A and B are shown apart, each in its own frame.
Chain A
Amino acid sequence: MHAYVFSVVIEDSLEALIKVLLTTRQAQAKLISAEVCESGIENVKLLTMSLSLKPEKAEWLKRKLSNLPTVLEANYVGLNTFLKV
């Protein structure tokens, strides 16, 4: 498992946020922390999640999140940290 930070720009609704979190669950990710903040655009929020994840699942998760109708953008960076889980 490696550490990643995912940034997801989401249309503002609780359902949209939950759907993003549920999708990370499909990737068998372990959620370390999450923060929601204003994006500066009306009705749009920025969700930042720290996850531990199998490296081969990171790109898949980005694509899966990008496909969601309420997600405007999804990106990630790897922290080059190996996590013993």
Chain B
Amino acid sequence: MVRAADALVKAMESKGVDVIFGIPGGSILPLYDAFYDSNIRTILMRHEQQAAHAAEGYARVKGRPGVAVATSGPGATNLVTGIVNAMMDSQPVIAITGQVPREVLGTDAFQETDITGILLPVTKYAVTVKEPSKLAQTFIDSYYIATAGRPGPVLIDIPRDVLQADVEPQWKDEPSLIKYALGSVTEQTQEPNPELISKAADILINAEKPVIIAGGGVIISNATEELVRLAEYLMAPVVVTTPGLGSIPSDHPLMLGVIGMHGRIEANLAVIESDTILAVGMRFADRSVGRFDEFQKGRKVIHVDIDASELGKNVTPTISIAGDAKKVLSELYACIISRTARKEARPFVQRLKAIGESFDEFMNNYGEPTRITSWRALKVIREELPRNAIVTTGVGQHQMWVQLCFKVFEPRTLLTSCGLGTMGFGLPAAVGAKAAAPDRTVACIDGDGSFFMTCQSLVPVVQYDIPVICIIFDNRALGMIRQLQDFFYQKRYKDEHLGLSRKHVEKGIDYVKLAESMGVEGAVAESLDDLRMLVRRAVRSEQALVIDLPIDREERVLPMVPPGRWLNQMMTPMGFDIHARIRV
């Protein structure tokens, strides 16, 4: 017999768990005691939300579940934002929470809360384990569920006395849930329907302006090779959703960039002009397509997703194919090459690329040449980071600038909060990413608003030698709020100012001192040359560094499609006449 907590740790080890992110507390202490004798590395975060983000950062880089651990009550409730973030972005995170002993459950005991009830709607699976003998098996089940089909978070809530009970250390490596034990068809094993593949192939072969939209599902299913091969054979341009960034290298000749509210001009124009859309591993979010009715007008839509409930949810496709992106793309390719020769280059792609290049040139030359703009700063950062560096972001203007102009060359190298839009995601996700890939450069590109929400994640950076570079785009404002109040609320600015004084708007938080108080070196980049030098030094030295990059609070992220409008309503910066360029 062994303690159930020890059996759980053995089960975790058997699935390859090598690190957990969390904070101990009374109800979860038996598990921490079991970690004492294990090779699993424990990283003490300074807030449970950050533990969940770190676990997600780890999961996104590794492509397998990250684990977050918290105690009962406030420890568990603090996890909620991080868990919902993982749910919205389909990432496998396993949350393990302590719970009060079974005999006091339901008595409003100290630090008791029904975390299973709270998280049921926003997890794939949530369970309170009442039988000590089932604890290890529950972990195996949860690991399977988190990764099966469309990935997502799971919760295992464990009363303290369950962790402490003696059990036979027995579990099976397969899931015990009836659905999986019976071997019924699951999303992951589901074969794409050959008839639908055949019909979709015909539509794509006969399309004059086919466009492929790649979503996060392409990255999750490791389908980059299949995507690129199909696009090149069809000579079809590829646009991506925000989670799909990295599914095809940004410098690939057929890649037109991100679509949507803050999408690239050429990418949105491609969708508008298309006669056929092949949408793979994406869910037609309002941020990506603006208006569902306009999207469906005058074009054929082939929608591929592993989650059958996504098919027809927002957009009614011409063909819906339920299946794994890698399998479907592979079978589509096989079907198409058996029926037609490789397509010739399509003139509309070159025309759209030229419009995109003219926008890049416009932004590169915007204002005085030495002025620090977000656009120029991101160009400098990209030039100094290795091609395979992992970049995380917070949420806000800086994130939109990243998706517009920061080149992403490999899958799983841009980690950003897409569906939930969680400010503060960047730094703890970077901690998780660096723990997953200690040999690679990890940089967090953050806004000052986002950074301040989770900046205490700098402490584990030092404590566990997880050196990440953090670059704060510091405009002393909630920049996106300021932009929205400017555009849609007649400049009635309210509570968007992050500085220390309304009178002296430039007086802000001293991020250098803040970083140094947590043991991380900090520096201010006064110019683009400073920024280049600082990033270069941090990459070479492999030391953590916080760079405060003051930027203009009046910068606006453009293009922008106003909420609820079709993509052809793009607002562009003053001086860039999109209509003139389309006519050319």
Chain A residues in contact with chain B, CB under 8 A? 11, 13, 15, 18-19, 22, 25-26, 43-44, 59-60, 63-64, 66-72
Contact = CB atoms under 8 A, between A and B. Distances in A.
Top 10 closest pairs, chain A to chain B, by CB: A63-B309, A64-B309, A63-B308, A22-B121, A69-B145, A11-B178, A69-B125, A19-B120, A72-B179, A60-B309
Contacts of A22: 120-121
A11 B179 contact: yes
B127 interface: yes
B308 A11 contact: no
Contacts, number: 52
A22 to B, nearest CB: 5
A60 B127 contact: no
B177 A15 contact: no
Given A13-B127, A66-B308, A67-B308, A72 B120 contact: no
Given A15-B120, A19-B121, 16 more contacts: A11-B178, A15-B116, A22-B120, A26-B121, A60-B312, A60-B313, A63-B309, A63-B311, A64-B309, A67-B149, A67-B308, A69-B125, A69-B177, A69-B179, A70-B125, A72-B178
A13 B130 CA distance: 12
A47 to B, nearest CB: 15
Contacts of B182: 72
Between B177, B179, B308, the greatest number of chain A beta carbons within 10 A of the residue's beta carbon is seen for: B179
B178 A44 contact: yes
Interface string B287-328: 000000000000000000001110111000000000000000
Nearest to B125: A69
Interface in B535-561: none
Contacts of B150: 67
A66 B178 CA distance: 13
A27 B68 CA distance: 30
A43 B149 CA distance: 24
B124 interface: yes
B187 A11 contact: no
30 contacts: A11-B177, A11-B178, A11-B179, A15-B116, A15-B126, A15-B127, A15-B128, A19-B120, A22-B121, A25-B121, A26-B121, A44-B178, A60-B309, A60-B312, A60-B313, A63-B309, A64-B309, A66-B309, A67-B149, A67-B150, A67-B307, A67-B309, A68-B124, A69-B177, A69-B179, A70-B177, A70-B179, A71-B179, A72-B182, A72-B184
